[in-house]
Structure 1
């Protein structure tokens, strides 16, 4: 039995032996331990070619209140996908961190979200076609390794800072952001992230800096958000190319319990001297949520020189079903 199959067997046994709908395995006044995850089958059509994008995500997390001023916590989450050519599994770590909640804020270290992820999540809301334009540097991406993050929240204000050392692509960098809720419906945010990382050019590293602004509005059945980003980015053989990016998302929820949603997204990224980063598409989607189960269908319309799914302009259709526990 290979290591991956052995890990799958252990994990499956642990999940099956627990009550299916019980996320909290153990809880007292001072301690809590949870198990969760999802099984998601997805299939896509791109230019007539079918590809499977199914995956499994499993996570465990817990916390321990040591006293009125200090609570410690930890989380581990990994994703499993299958190789296209055989039945072997690929294992990818998504979260692996420990942290502490204090009166001065929260401190978290490990493989986790970056500070500006709070801001980019405003528009990264679709099941499939959203959240592309922030993934081109380590410190603006959704997650990075070896990251220390600080979170402070007071009433309507949220402030986060993160620092990354020797992470993905030998990257160092930091991120800062602040968000303010002007009302229950409206929140605005701004941030900056910089990284010094490799871009496929051996051991040389180049600087990239991104400035971000975002807004989201929610009221009743409507969710609207937008994010803008600009700065400079490097690539193999290219230094300090200016870029601009934009992300937008709009959703409408309907049904007796708002279990249906239709949404549209727009993603744009253009660097002056790096054609392979061009992103320019519209996504439309319908999803239905039934308790722990979801069905969704998404269609991406590629515009101009969009290369987000390969080396040329390609439309994509993706359908899927997900069970979460």
Structure 2
């Protein structure tokens, strides 16, 4: 691989607006792709308002800019007939913040599956994706309940994923920097040829010397222009003299009409051993795709908890 050729190819891909995840280098055994997005978006809600603690005067308005941009680089190489190597890096920068690494991992692909290490999704994400379907809101119940080992974009993550016909299996181990905080998870999903996906996963480990575990059950069904998803999640944390047990669920419905996609979701989760509501909301969203590169969207979240306010969010996104 000549450095000059590679450099010029990367620069050409960065300024190109005609493709998604452009292939900037490819030979008989290796391939390098670059992609990303520029997303201008905003949120309007009384939740964004802030007041001076002394004077009581409003210091922040209900309007909050949430614009962001992402850049990702991925590559793969064929080592032998049964062995490949792969890697991915993706960062994000948003208004008023530093560059954040979203993904950074590398691994080996074999006939038995892929083995990788780095900052990457855990195995339960393939199940929570059944209901994480919105550009604006959603996935609140999972966000309130999930362990690190059951969440996306986790560091120090040893991961395995294999696909065998309609069955996809995954496992991961999080080697946390903090003492007594390691976690692990396993998950499986089966996809039928008539549009039905079933998934189940389990995560467990420790957080601050407390034993924690999580169970996920999910289902997704697609028929014609409709896609429906459901997720049930249960977590348990050992406490002095007992345990703190909570659960929640997410429901999602999507309908595609030409260049439009309409989405509705409902999220609910408990806290304090099921005595209080941590999440209770539903949201509606419309997305219009001009083409594979450009889309615009708007969503509204209806909060059902008294001390939380409704939210409006809208944006326009360009993928390259």
Q: Give the TM-score taking structure 2 as reference length.
A: 0.85
In structure 2, do the counterparts of structure 1 residues 67 and 18 end up closer, same or farther at CA, with 3 Å as the change threshold? Answer: farther
2:309 maps to 1:314? yes
Residue 21 of structure 1 aligns with which residue? 18
Using structure 1 for the length normalisation, give the TM-score: 0.84
3-state SS in 2 of match to 1:134: helix
Distance in 2 (CA, whole Å) between partners of 1:276 and 1:99 is 42
> Is 1:95 equivalent to 2:94 in the alignment?
no
Q: Deviations over 1:79-122 (max 9, x none)?
A: 10122xxxxx4211110000111011110110000010111111
In 1, distance between residues paired with 2:92 and 2:179?
20
1:134 CA displacement:
2.2
Rg (Cα) greater in structure: 2
CA 1:300–1:272: 2 relative to 1, 3 Å: same
Q: How many residues align?
A: 293
The answer to whether the 8 A contact 1:144-1:167 is kept is no
**Partners of 1:76 and 1:18 in 2: CA distance:** 19
Q: Provide the residue aligned with 1:33 in structure 2.
A: 32
How far did 1:171 drift?
A: 3.7
Query: Of the candidates 157, 177, 188, which is equivalent to residue 178 of structure 1?
Result: 188
Offset, 1:313: 1.6
Consecutive unaligned residues of structure 1, counting only runs of 5 or more, are 1-12, 84-88, 198-203, 306-311
Identify the match of residue 212 of structure 2 among 201, 208, 227: 208
Distance 1:238 1:62 in 2: 50
Task: State the partner residue of 2:202.
Answer: 192
- 1:159-216 superposed Cα distances (whole Å, 9 cap, x missing partner): 100100015898410111111123331010101012312xxxxxx4322211110000
* Inter-CA distance 299–205: structure 2 relative to 1 (3 Å threshold): same
Contact 1:238 1:274 in 2 (8 A): no
Corresponding residue of 1:201: none
Shifted more, 125-134 versus 144-153: the winner is 125-134
Shift of 1:301: 0.2
The separation in 2 between residues aligned to 1:15 and 1:152, in whole angstroms, is: 35
Question: Higher relative contact order at CA 8 Å, sep ≥6: structure 1 or structure 2?
Answer: 2
User: What per-residue deviation string (whole Å, max 9, x for no partner) do you get for residues 50-88 of structure 1?
Assistant: 0011101111010000111101000000110122xxxxx
C-alpha deviation, 1:272, in angstroms: 3.0
Shift of 1:233: 3.6
Moved over 6 A (4+): 274-277
1:30 shift after superposition: 1.1
Give the secondary-structure state (helix, strand or coil) at the position aligned to 2:141.
coil
- Secondary structure (helix, strand or coil) at the match of 1:118 reads helix
- Structure 1 residues 142, 288: closer, same or farther in 2, change over 3 A? same
Please name the residue that 1:289 is paired with.
289
Once the two structures are superposed, what CA deviation does each residue of 1:1-32 show, in whole Å capped at 9, x if it has no partner? xxxxxxxxxxxx94775433341111122110
Partner of 2:235: 231
Kindly state the Cα deviation for residue 275 of structure 1 after the two structures are TM-superposed.
8.0
How does 1:1-325 map onto structure 2 within 5 Å?
A: 14=11, 18-22=15-19, 23-47=22-46, 49-83=62-96, 89-135=97-143, 136-166=146-176, 171-197=181-207, 204-233=208-237, 240-255=243-258, 259-273=259-273, 278-291=278-291, 292-304=293-305, 312-325=307-320
